[in-house]
Structure 1
Amino acid sequence: MEERRFFNRDLSWLTFNERVMEEAANSAVPLLERIKFLSIFSSNLDEFYRVRMPVLRALQKIGEKDSNEINAYERRGILDTAKSMIIAQQERFGQILREQLIPALDTENVVLLYHRPFPDGITKAAEGYFLSEILAFMQPVMLDGEHFFFPENNKLYFVVDLIEADGSPQVALLNIPSDELPRFFTVKDNDRTYIAFLDDIIRINLDKIFPAVEIKGCYSIKITRDAELDLADEYSGDLSDEIEKQLKKRDFGLATRFLYDAEIPLRMLQVLTQELCLQNASATQGGKYHNLKDFFSLPVNDVRLQYNEWKPSVRDDFFDKGRDMIIHTPYQSYNSVLRFFNEAAINPNVEEIYITLYRVASDSRIVNALISAARNGKYVQVMVELKARFDEANNLKWAKKMKEAGIKIVYSVRQLKVHAKIAIVKTRQGDRMAYAGLLATGNFNESTAKFYTDHILFTTNRGLLREMELVFMFLGKREKPSEKRRLEFKHLLVAQFNLQSKFIELIDREIENATAGKPAGMIIKVNNLEERVLINKLYEASQAGVKTDLIVRSICCLIPGVKGMSENITIRRIVDRYLEHGRVFVFNNGGNPEVFLGSSDWMNRNIYHRIEVCFPVYDETIKKEIIDMINIQLADNVQAVILDENLRNLPVTHARPAVQAQLEIYKLLAAALPE
């Protein structure tokens, strides 16, 4: 068999989600935050089943027909391995919850009624809540071959085993209305707070829904459906209209997972599979409760059990002195970005505003500022990406509102998503136009800025701004990049133009320096690393003696530490209170480091199917700040793990003192504010 050169992307992602789950077992993390990590794990797994499981099932079918023995073996094996990993992780999930978190809640006088009987006083209160609130939403359906029923995507249901008065068996489906009512119900009794699942309140009141029949059993189920939109590469109509049509169909997509209570009788399982057309779904045994991502809204509000607040520091020197400035969210306040757009909207000298929007906040102040700018007579052009997965409906809503306000809306071509995060404001100064711009590693989204670590550069650099304008010209014309256009970018790295080739050039320079005995090395921080051309180039650099430190949050297909291939490459993952999101690229350059930031991961989708923008950091003060931050992350021995050649998350064994990168970066930036 050929040399193994790449981790499988899906198995790698599952090990990342396992790392998220294990944070729930970390006793150093406040209790309510540990419960939230379980919620994040559960939400991530749902998305995996919606997005990746259909791909794995399709690959397995290809593998069964593939004449290449290696490919056939790998494609058949990955799906089975993924299922085994998920089963083990779900067992670990239950263990953490039962053995650690629920007992810890008990010590705080909070009783989570999870696989626990209701005390008498709680039963009475729950019955009253059922009769006054829940019963209005109950919609039982008999599966008797006469009634059609289509379970909605990721919604919760009971399947109820009934015996009619004449002794005949019957199966009913019953909705659990967790999208209309809170998932949890609380009752205070003396000094204790009891928290009951909505599911269990329905369970103990089933006789009120199904009177005059015998209830033999009640079992929870959930069906997850394919999340992909069916968009052909060529479509002559309005993309927004087509997206809207497809969104209405999404929740009626093919079932990819059928999750059911392991105690359900085989007879009922067969009835469900047949009646609900689940023959092609991945049937997965689960527990009594599903959608435990709802733990994120567990009704306990005790500051002692949460992270202590890190108040973001404020930077605004860009506005006063007109020099380049960078902010690092959420350590520093996002208000500087909001101020940038708010002042542009009302400044009578501002004539034009351009921006790309990928994921928009549900109550976006930035979009409201853009609408105000348009109504104040300014030309505003917004590139809205309608194909941002799971944000299509929200982006579509805002696109319509902006269009109504007179904003020029540009949509991406069907084959490409626009993932770049850039903005330009043009201001009239006498007989000339002055430019100011933003380049970011994360979305222009004030909501995610509160817990995503990102970098936003405010700049008046003419070279950067001229090339940003070229990007907007390309987006406005919606044309394929020509070779001539590729050569116009001397500063920015733009996917579809020069991004991949420039990164290869930068790695080649490190290889040349190492071969010549000069200082050489790289630090690369991304969310995901998959694209094989760049991975192979990193292997080549390792073989030439270039030391490379990778910080990869999630998917990583590069195998580190393999003698003769990647022994000079180390990979770290950091999971902490904030989601690591910024992309950072540091090249030693013979002792004169070059630093790039940007929107692009090293994934196939980013390199080949998106418009991405990475940008150089020219200001020496900012460059030093970025390098200091990245070095702190490389020194983390509290929240970081090392990814080994067997895809395991191994604890970092650095000597003390303890270094928790996010805490140290927060301290660094708070102390580094300009006078």
Structure 2
Amino acid sequence: MDHYSFFDRDLSWLLFNERILMEAEREDVPVMERVNFLSIYSSNLDEFYRVRMPVILALNKLAKGGKQEKEDVLLEAQSLIEKQQQKFGQIFTSKLIPLLKENKVTLLFNEQPPNEIQSKITDYFFSQVMAFLQPIDLSETGKNFFPENNRLYFLVSLTLKDNSKKTILLNIPSNQLPRFYSVSSDDQQFILFLDDIIRHNLHRLFINEKVTGCYSFKITRDAELDLKDEYHGDLSEQIEKQLLKRDMGMATRFLHQPNIPLHTLHFITEKLSLQGSSVVEGGMYHNLKDLMGLPVSLPGLRYSRWQPLTNDQLIDAPSLFEYIAQKDCIFHTPYQSYNSILRFFNEAAIDANVQEISVTLYRVASDSRIVNALIGAALSGKKVKVMVELKARFDEANNIKWAKKMKAAGVEIIYSDKALKVHAKVALVKRLVDGRIKYAGLLATGNFNESTAAFYTDHILMTANPFLVREMELLFVFLAKKAKTSAGYPIEFKHLLVAQFNLKDRFLELIDREIENVKKGLSAGITIKLNNLEERVLISKLYEASQAGVKILLIVRSICCIIPGVKGMSENITIHRIVDRYLEHGRIFIFNNNDTPEVFLGSADWMNRNIYRRIEVCFPIYDQHIKTEILKIIDLQLNDNVQAVGLNENLQNVILEKHEPLIQSQQEIYHFLKQEIYDRV
């Protein structure tokens, strides 16, 4: 493994975020969708500074101290981000704002509002905004302030009548009021940032002082929770306490508007103890993830909606579980309706034959119907066991809330060990029918979350296959015991691939088989679709396969540490990225096996955390019709020449050559699945 090369994971991630910017730049994408891509870019970058920048800063510090040989990616990351931010600003101000104006929507961007709407803005400031403003005088000796994570602030410079100076920190209450204010005049819609409503009315707030400067900024803080190795009591209580401290973490970024005077910059960094953070000059406005809520509802400015597909044959079945008993079913969301998955849980809750329900929950909807069904099942006397992952980053509070509600209703709640997350997406229903035990299983590539299912592409298998459901039951027995590792635990999975048990070794065996096949002159090939690809043992095995002559086709959405197209190492490896209206989320693994392909779906990316620090489940597809369906979907994605880009040996997103027929894979998948349902009926 030492002689192989790998992309840096953090630089790779930043280049994925650049791919998001590329979509915002495209003129054939509706203008409001382009605005949304800018919002996604901004949200992603905030998370990067919260989750990854603390690691980069720490490694950089170690490297400078001579304690660890580590490539310093800090400067390269900062350079990439700076270039991307400049591109962001150009797209927004030079492309999208003028396009909105052509549609009679004027987004006022650092400009004085026209006279005809001035009175409405002033009234809004006095009646709504002023109530939430909390000016703090930083000039007072000993006066300190702790800016909250990713909250917006102004630094206001004032001159008093006696020519003395004041520096005021003023909040921009975008967490309490809408970020944008919309007002119409004649046939024109005007939209203002909340920031500008405050900025233009500072003289009404500081009536006895002269405003000599106003500069926007925000602080981004480390999001890592400090869970102790040894803890006592309920893990949920410890996490709740840590959540209260999360926004008090180390500052990783001080983002400020341009042209802030140097002495003011020095004053604020010292006053707010920001010396260890990255000081970044941004634009006039921060938290542009809020652009997702830009109040524009004109028709034609967004994607036309694809109505989720439904299978009437399945809907009309008297019992979903009896239908599953006859054959496996698969659902490809959001192309197909999520209602059948909701029905699975709802029917389990009310079916008198159901004795037990077991499920893993990683991220659930804030108003989860699935959890409500589980609560109903417990209240009706059914045995319900739920493995709730409390450590799902940024969903901890929501998961704790639901865990408490379920526990109060009689659900048996299981928490994972502190060092081991349960990321698997599985559910098992046990029924007693005519004196016989029957099982129905749900295995998915994505969370049981009806909200994200509307825009995450995932695959959910419903099965009564005895090989699969028996091993699912073994998995739930293991989870209930809260074992920290699989060491010494007598479970052997022959069909499911389970991290901490057999997942990595089984994937290595499958790759080795392709290597042996190509050496024997047999048909060989590997096709893998992932969100993230980082783990070096598995990557090294793919390099080995490439060197043996195995053709390897990868679709990797985000982090990608494998370097394609390098002679003598990876010339048989190609990588595509697809960004479109839906977020590509499903994980698919296809091994040619001498033209009798084996297909696996599952929850596991090939990241260190997934392989070594999580319980993950990947599952085989045994039904031939479903296998053919998956192969067709992947074939469409591999041939996408509209929304896909290539990733080259220099970590660059490369636009693919456009040729007939033009294939936009998400659109083609929707039409393919629509025809599939029609053909079955």
TM-score normalized by the length of structure 2: 0.97
Q: Tell me how far 1:62 sits from its aligned partner.
A: 1.2
State whether residues 509 and 589 of structure 1, in contact with CA within 8 Å, keep that contact through their aligned partners in structure 2: yes
State whether residues 50 and 256 of structure 1, in contact with CA within 8 Å, keep that contact through their aligned partners in structure 2: yes
Instruction: Give the SS at the match of 1:305.
Output: coil
Please tell me whether residue 109 in structure 1 is matched to residue 113 in structure 2. Answer: no
1:552 pairs with one of 532, 556, 560: 556
In the superposition, relative to structure 1, how do residues 278 and 484 fare at CA in structure 2: closer, same or farther (>3 Å)? closer
State whether residues 176 and 198 of structure 1, in contact with CA within 8 Å, keep that contact through their aligned partners in structure 2: yes
Question: Which aligned pairs between 1:16-415 and structure 2 lie closer than 5 A?
Answer: 16-66=16-66, 71-72=69-70, 74=71, 76=72, 78-144=73-139, 145-315=141-311, 317=314, 319=321, 321-322=323-324, 323-415=327-419
2-side partners of 1:459 and 1:384: how far apart? 23
TM-score normalized by the length of structure 1: 0.98
Q: Which residue type is aligned with residue 657 of structure 1?
A: P
What is the aligned partner in structure 2 of residue 658 from structure 1? 662
1-side partners of 2:542 and 2:40: how far apart? 32
Query: Matched residues, percent identical?
Result: 62
1-side partners of 2:32 and 2:336: how far apart? 24
What is the aligned partner in structure 2 of residue 492 from structure 1? 496
2-side partners of 1:664 and 1:475: how far apart? 40
2-side partners of 1:577 and 1:481: how far apart? 39
Q: Tell me how far 1:98 sits from its aligned partner.
A: 1.2
State whether residues 108 and 193 of structure 2, in contact with CA within 8 Å, keep that contact through their aligned partners in structure 1: yes
1-side partners of 2:515 and 2:576: how far apart? 22
Q: Which runs of 5+ in 2 are unaligned?
A: 315-319
State whether residues 486 and 500 of structure 2, in contact with CA within 8 Å, keep that contact through their aligned partners in structure 1: no
Question: Which aligned pairs between 1:560-579 and structure 2 lie closer than 5 A?
Answer: 560-579=564-583
1-side partners of 2:67 and 2:389: how far apart? 40
What is the aligned partner in structure 2 of residue 523 from structure 1? 527
Q: Tell me how far 1:411 sits from its aligned partner.
A: 0.3
Q: Tell me how far 1:4 sits from its aligned partner.
A: 6.2
Q: Which residue type is aligned with residue 279 of structure 1?
A: Q
2-side partners of 1:82 and 1:279: how far apart? 19
Instruction: Give the SS at the match of 1:455.
Output: strand
State whether residues 486 and 497 of structure 1, in contact with CA within 8 Å, keep that contact through their aligned partners in structure 2: no
Q: Tell me how far 1:320 sits from its aligned partner.
A: 5.8
1-side partners of 2:128 and 2:256: how far apart? 26
In the superposition, relative to structure 1, how do residues 284 and 486 fare at CA in structure 2: closer, same or farther (>3 Å)? farther
State whether residues 427 and 435 of structure 1, in contact with CA within 8 Å, keep that contact through their aligned partners in structure 2: yes
Q: Tell me how far 1:116 sits from its aligned partner.
A: 2.4
In the superposition, relative to structure 1, how do residues 627 and 485 fare at CA in structure 2: closer, same or farther (>3 Å)? farther
Deviations 1:485-512 (A, max 9, x none): 4761000000000000000000000000
Q: Tell me how far 1:480 sits from its aligned partner.
A: 3.9
Q: Tell me how far 1:484 sits from its aligned partner.
A: 6.0
Q: Tell me how far 1:21 sits from its aligned partner.
A: 1.2
1-side partners of 2:174 and 2:117: how far apart? 20
Q: Which residue type is aligned with residue 413 of structure 1?
A: D
2:621 pairs with one of 601, 617, 623: 617
In the superposition, relative to structure 1, how do residues 196 and 515 fare at CA in structure 2: closer, same or farther (>3 Å)? same
State whether residues 6 and 557 of structure 1, in contact with CA within 8 Å, keep that contact through their aligned partners in structure 2: yes
Deviations 1:311-333 (A, max 9, x none): 01113635563321000000000
2-side partners of 1:177 and 1:665: how far apart? 43
Q: Tell me how far 1:282 sits from its aligned partner.
A: 0.8
What is the aligned partner in structure 2 of residue 608 from structure 1? 612
Q: How many residues align?
A: 669
Please tell me whether residue 467 in structure 1 is matched to residue 471 in structure 2. Answer: yes
2-side partners of 1:173 and 1:412: how far apart? 43
Q: Tell me how far 1:207 sits from its aligned partner.
A: 1.2
State whether residues 384 and 409 of structure 1, in contact with CA within 8 Å, keep that contact through their aligned partners in structure 2: yes
In the superposition, relative to structure 1, how do residues 403 and 214 fare at CA in structure 2: closer, same or farther (>3 Å)? same
Q: Which residue type is aligned with residue 46 of structure 1?
A: D
Deviations 1:189-241 (A, max 9, x none): 11110001100010111012112111101000100111000012332321000
Q: Tell me how far 1:264 sits from its aligned partner.
A: 1.0
Deviations 1:637-660 (A, max 9, x none): 000000000000001125311000
Q: Which residue type is aligned with residue 473 of structure 1?
A: V
What is the aligned partner in structure 1 of residue 317 from structure 2? none
Give the stretch that moved more between structures: 573-582 or 301-310. Answer: 301-310
State whether residues 4 and 540 of structure 2, in contact with CA within 8 Å, keep that contact through their aligned partners in structure 1: no
Please tell me whether residue 6 in structure 1 is matched to residue 6 in structure 2. Answer: yes
1-side partners of 2:614 and 2:211: how far apart? 54
What is the aligned partner in structure 1 of residue 454 from structure 2? 450
Instruction: Give the SS at the match of 2:594.
Output: helix
State whether residues 338 and 365 of structure 1, in contact with CA within 8 Å, keep that contact through their aligned partners in structure 2: yes
2-side partners of 1:98 and 1:275: how far apart? 33
Deviations 1:9-42 (A, max 9, x none): 0000000001001111111111111100000000
2-side partners of 1:584 and 1:654: how far apart? 26
2-side partners of 1:354 and 1:377: how far apart? 14
State whether residues 109 and 191 of structure 1, in contact with CA within 8 Å, keep that contact through their aligned partners in structure 2: yes
Deviations 1:358-379 (A, max 9, x none): 0010000000000000001000
1-side partners of 2:241 and 2:189: how far apart? 46
2-side partners of 1:14 and 1:66: how far apart? 27
What is the aligned partner in structure 1 of residue 429 from structure 2? 425
2-side partners of 1:200 and 1:222: how far apart? 16
What is the aligned partner in structure 2 of residue 589 from structure 1? 593
State whether residues 486 and 498 of structure 1, in contact with CA within 8 Å, keep that contact through their aligned partners in structure 2: no
1-side partners of 2:490 and 2:446: how far apart? 24
State whether residues 485 and 497 of structure 1, in contact with CA within 8 Å, keep that contact through their aligned partners in structure 2: no
Deviations 1:440-491 (A, max 9, x none): 0000000000000000000000110111111111110011444564761000
1-side partners of 2:658 and 2:623: how far apart? 32
2-side partners of 1:416 and 1:654: how far apart? 45
Q: Which runs of 5+ in 1 are unaligned?
A: none
State whether residues 180 and 294 of structure 2, in contact with CA within 8 Å, keep that contact through their aligned partners in structure 1: yes
Please tell me whether residue 667 in structure 1 is matched to residue 671 in structure 2. Answer: yes
Q: Tell me how far 1:161 sits from its aligned partner.
A: 0.8
2-side partners of 1:4 and 1:339: how far apart? 48
Q: Tell me how far 1:65 sits from its aligned partner.
A: 2.5
Instruction: Give the SS at the match of 1:446.
Output: coil
Q: Tell me how far 1:302 sits from its aligned partner.
A: 1.8
1:627 pairs with one of 631, 634, 639: 631
In the superposition, relative to structure 1, how do residues 533 and 153 fare at CA in structure 2: closer, same or farther (>3 Å)? same
Q: Which residue type is aligned with residue 17 of structure 1?
A: N
Instruction: Give the SS at the match of 2:651.
Output: coil
Instruction: Give the SS at the match of 1:149.
Output: coil
Q: Tell me how far 1:430 sits from its aligned partner.
A: 2.3
State whether residues 329 and 449 of structure 1, in contact with CA within 8 Å, keep that contact through their aligned partners in structure 2: yes
2-side partners of 1:400 and 1:479: how far apart? 22
